[in-house]
Amino acid sequence: MSTLSSYVKQALALVTGDDQTAQAIKNERKVTSYITSQISSLRSKRVDLEDKLETAEENLKNAKYSIKDGKVVPVPNAETYLYNLKEAKAAVEAVTESIEDVDSSIAVYEAELASF
């Protein structure tokens, strides 16, 4: 007989009175469900962050080349230009870090799921 499904293992544990095994099987089903759900949620969040990154990169280009409403406009004074450039760059970096954090979390959860 090949490997038994979680359902079969739990049924056998209940019939034989092995409460600890039955509880462990229930726990496994719950945690794998939790982890799978979290991975799905993180993948969805990553897609949203990818859109946010595109916007941040576009804003950085606009700040760098002094573009507003699709048109090149006069460069503002040095202080404003440098501030806008710095803020736009920081926004790109922040979103990029968020994507990296999400990717790291996904990898951790996928490894945990594989360990079951």
- Using an 8 Å Cβ cutoff, are 103 and 46 in contact? yes
Rounded to whole angstroms, the Cα distance separating 98 from 91 reads 11
For 58, the domain range is 6-115
Confidence at residue 102, expressed as pLDDT on a 0 to 100 scale: 98
Structural domains in the chain (count):
1
Between vectors from CA 106 to CA 103 and to CA 110, what angle results, nearest 5°?
A: 140
Per-position DSSP letters for 20-40, written without gaps between them: HHHHHHHHHHHHHHHHHHHHH
Flag whether 20 is in a domain.
Answer: yes
Flag whether 68 is in a domain.
Answer: yes
Flag whether 59 is in a domain.
Answer: yes
Residue 11 has pLDDT above 80, yes or no: no
Confidence at residue 4, expressed as pLDDT on a 0 to 100 scale: 67
Residue 1 has pLDDT above 50, yes or no: no
| pLDDT tens-digit map of 42-95 | 999 999 999 999 999 999 999 999 999 999 999 989 999 999 999 999 999 999
| pLDDT tens-digit map of 19-51 | 877 788 888 889 999 999 999 999 999 999 999
Flag whether 79 is in a domain.
Answer: yes
Q: Length of the chain, please?
A: 116
Flag whether 1 is in a domain.
Answer: no
